[in-house]
Amino acid sequence: MTKKMKRRDFMRTGAVAGLTLAATKDEVAGFPMILKQSTVKPLVISSANGNRFKNGGDVTAVSKAFTMMTGGADVLDSVIAGVNIVELDPLDDSVGYGGLPNADGVVQLDSSVMHGPKKRAGAVGALEGVRTPSLVAKAVLENTDHHLIVGKGAQDFARDMGFKIEDDLNTENSRRKWLEWKRRTDPEHYLDPKKRADAGHKAALQMLAAGLLREENMHGTINCDAINSKGEICGVTTTSGLAWKIPGRIGDSPILGAGLYVDGAVGAAGSTGRGEANLFNLCSFVIVEEMRRGAHPKDAGMEVLNRIKNNTIEKRLLNARGLPNFGITFYMLNAKGEYAGVTMYEGGSYAICNENGPQTLKCDALLTGRPSD
């Protein structure tokens, strides 16, 4: 005779059935098992410009990505469609079309994409003539055995894939700002490299103080990551890079583990801000690894910000307080749907979109004051 199941046994059985046990060989080595919920509340997270620019339409990047994703579209396709809005919007001169150019007045763009479920990635660097580098990065993921293509090779690849190649991605706004920068630096432009770099940085800070540039222009980027109800995680980062950079300079955005890192079983992290600091510390990878060990996204991000602070020792990169004289921000979500935005100094913000709609939230900061204090 079959015994009746006790209520507590039924509840225990139901709870176990609602979880997927993601145990790996790591358990043997003493690592904890990961209990992954079978359903997750969908979420999109991005840098603040992901809830600001609309390219003449009525939706922002995070809204577009969330609507597509919850409608059944692939998560990577959704976040790319979201950042395409920013890439194409000439009003955001830190990304894509109309992004602030390099020292020679040429717009060079970087981007990376990662697909968590498929465990695939693609990236492009120093790409000229294509307004949507994120789509070219996706083409690298889909059509090659490579992860990163740069420079003329990236443009040739884009042309082969059918992308329109334009002679110049400057807008009237980006060209005017570049000419202003040239006007301020030209008297010293051909001195020794240190003086040239100092003159260029000083001119950029003067333009920032005069209101000609926004803070994010200095290291402008958009990162956008998302998780759907199935727990599938994808991400994209795209940028026009550091304003007035040395031609050919590639920052953190197209580098896997720096500007973007996704592990479909753990989470995603991306960044905006000083790319060189992110490259040196491979921050996005470290954040995901911290989350793998059980850290909340906020704690993982703070750990990396503190690492950047401790690894910044060059005098030229320190302010009067002996702290980093630059900003950097991270955007993170984990496989549970938990998320955070953290930044080096107070005042930063980030964007999300969930069932409550798009929102711009305040970042948690490691340090008080401003980078220039």
Residue found by looking up tokens 């911290």 in the block? 290
For 194, counting Cβ atoms within 10 Å of its Cβ (0-12 exposed, 13-18 middle, 19+ buried), the class is exposed
Contact indicator for 63, 356 with CB cutoff of 8 Å = no
Q: Which two tokens stand for residue 34?
A: 């990961």
* Choice among 221, 237, 238, 239 that is catalytic: 221
CA distance 283 to 249: 19
SS3 sequence, 176-193?
A: HHHHHHHHHHHHHCCCCH
Cα of 194 vs its chain's centroid, Å: 30
Query: Which residues 6+ apart lie within 8 Å of 93 measured at CB?
Result: 99, 100, 171, 173, 174, 177, 217, 220, 240
Place of tokens 């479909």: 264
| SS3 call for 223 | strand
- The pair phi, psi for residue 59, each rounded to 5°, is -130, 150
Are residues 282 and 260 in contact, defined by beta-carbon separation less than 8 angstroms? Answer: no
Facing residues of 124 across strands? 111, 149
| Residues in Cβ contact with 15 at an 8 Å cutoff, skipping those fewer than 6 apart | none
For the question of residue 221 being annotated catalytic, the response is yes
Q: Which of 269, 268, 237 is nearest to 254 (CA)?
A: 237
Give helix 151-160 / helix 133-143 axis angle, nearest 10°.
80
Which positions are catalytic? 221
